[in-house]
Chains A and B, each alone.
Chain A
Amino acid sequence: MADGLVLSEPRAGDFIIYGLSGTDLEHFGRLLALLNQPDFGLFSALCERDLWVEGKSQSAIESIVSVFIASGRGQELVQRVIRREVSLTEQETTLFRSVSTATQVLSTFAKQVGTQYLRQVIRPLVLTIVSGSWSFEVDPDKLEEGEQVMVNTLHLVRSCEDMLQHIVATIDQCPRSLWRACKSMFEIVNEKFPSSALKSVGGLFFLRFVCPAIMVPETSGVLDSTPTPQQRRKLVLVSKSLQSLSNAVEFGAKEPYMMGVNKFIRNGTPQMQTLQQRLAVSLSPLSLSFSLSSRELDWIFDDDDEIADSLSLSGIGIV
């Protein structure tokens, strides 16, 4: 939603709920209208005690986020949770590190608006990793017979470099709404913790969005089936390496077996910073694509929020 735009108070009748009609529609519509108050009153109250941060309650956060996105208020929600998290944080080293409603909302928002991006950009690389026969294992205690740490480290680093290059090259395909969320993250964090602003952008994009999709690809639609333990291990190692690169933190005594990746982190840091700066200050070109296959109807909104904003102003809303 555009900055400064004031929404009129939503009413129960503003909501069309698939599968509901009559009294049910009216009652649930009242609940959604209540959640959608311009001042975020109910949502703020619900955030007070981080009621739904446990894994089992993730679906509640997903529902809340999808309702706000449908109302064209996804960006407002993101900005609000970022502001809340920043205002509650005293030490910048702990910024967005805890499990809270804010971090859950950011992860869920990124995933909901970025599913197509993950499928188009991340999926081919993940497929390459899981289908390859080479090992990435760098922990001497977990090596199979005949494997060498040095060779595996080279494979791991090569794969991480490919991943970084591909993400940088295709960053224009990043959903505009996620890009705007990154920009909001930079601006809000920059007010209080300037030195952490760029890293926070990387945290949102990599820690909350890309890395979970690499590590658990079957839950993001990146892979159709669950990877084998060996495949999962490779994905975990790539994910850890990218996450450390995003934080610009080299591996140390805590995980000494990962220190072979530090060269990749040192070499990739300038490129990562450029990427984070790009996400923080500029927006990707607006794109909208629509495809229809013979067996299924597949809408691809590369920019859900932007379009939702426009359609909401025209009297239509989308999820």
Chain B
Amino acid sequence: MDQEGPPTTVEEPAPSFIVDADSCFTLHAALRKEMEKINEILEVVQEETKPSYALVEEFKTVMDLLGDAREATMSSQMRASTGTNAVRSLCVSLCVSFFWMDRLNGMELGSGRNPTCLQEWLRLCLHLRWRPRMPKAPRAPSDRAWAS
């Protein structure tokens, strides 16, 4: 039986743009460093170009918000980094300990304990040591170096 209902509308998914936090921090730091000059530029834009008024206001609001968030963000990043390093060190230490305990007992690696467990530790070590990282573009040489 045919039923006519309201037309179905399919919402397009919002795009997701993936950026690494380092880029955000660098950008924010650079903006803050030049805030005085940027404000001068934006004041002119605000006077001459009315549609940019909202942009200028939003920029100032965001920079104010980020100004407060910056310290907290950096300290939480440092804590997270320190935590990861600590876990990594612990895993490596455990693996080395297991290895030497087995060797001292005259056993092959992993034979004195649950091999799966040891494999998991090694896997965790590998994961922490060789986790994929976002590629970071190398620093370009200054154009001035080319003048000579």
Contact = CB atoms under 8 A, between A and B. Distances in A.
- Most chain B CB within a 10 A radius of its CB, from A24, A52, A115, A220: A24
Contacts of B52: 41, 45
Interface string B1-35: 00000000000111111111111101111110110
Contacts of A30: 58, 62, 65
Nearest to B14: A14
Given A27-B69, A115-B135, A219-B141, A32 B24 contact: yes
Interface stretch (B36-44, B95-103, B108-116, B117-125): B36-44
Given A24-B69, A28-B66, A41-B55, A18 B20 contact: yes
Interface in A39-93: 41-42, 45-46, 48-49, 51-55, 57-60, 62-67, 70-72
Contacts of A288: none
A60 B26 contact: yes
B38 A46 contact: yes
Interface stretch (A106-114, A130-138, A193-201): A106-114
B14 A59 contact: no
A227 interface: no
Nearest to A53: B143
B24 A52 contact: no
Interface in B120-147: 130, 132, 134-135, 137-146
B45 interface: yes
Contacts of B41: 45-46, 48-49
A318 B134 CA distance: 10
A60 B30 contact: yes
B25 to A, nearest CB: 8
B73 interface: yes
B17 A16 contact: yes
Contacts of A52: 30, 34
A316 B16 contact: yes
B21 A20 contact: yes
B134 A319 contact: yes
A10 B59 contact: no
Contacts of A212: 140-141, 146
Given A20-B24, A58-B140, A34 B55 contact: yes
Interface residues of A, number: 71
Nearest to A108: B140
B138 A60 contact: no
B141 to A, nearest CB: 5
B17 A63 contact: no
A18 B132 CA distance: 12
A27 B15 contact: no
A255 to B, nearest CB: 10
B116 to A, nearest CB: 21
B21 A14 contact: no
A174 interface: no
Contacts of A62: 23, 26, 137, 139-140
A113 B14 CA distance: 25
Given A17-B20, A45-B38, 18 more contacts: A10-B17, A18-B21, A19-B21, A20-B21, A28-B66, A31-B62, A35-B27, A41-B52, A45-B52, A55-B142, A55-B144, A66-B19, A216-B145, A220-B138, A312-B17, A315-B15, A315-B16, A319-B134
26 contacts: A14-B14, A14-B17, A19-B20, A19-B22, A24-B69, A31-B28, A35-B27, A36-B17, A42-B59, A45-B42, A45-B52, A51-B30, A57-B33, A60-B29, A62-B26, A63-B22, A63-B23, A63-B24, A65-B137, A66-B23, A115-B135, A219-B138, A221-B138, A316-B15, A316-B16, A317-B15
Closest 8 CB pairs of A and B: A60-B30, A19-B21, A317-B17, A315-B13, A55-B142, A63-B27, A63-B23, A297-B132
Interface of B: 12-24, 26-31, 33-34, 37-38, 41-42, 45, 52, 55, 58-59, 62-63, 65-66, 69, 72-73, 76-77, 80, 130, 132, 134-135, 137-146
Interface of A: 10-11, 13-20, 23-24, 27-28, 30-32, 34-37, 41-42, 45-46, 48-49, 51-55, 57-60, 62-67, 70-72, 99, 103-104, 107-108, 111-112, 115, 207, 211-212, 215-216, 219-221, 295-297, 312-313, 315-319
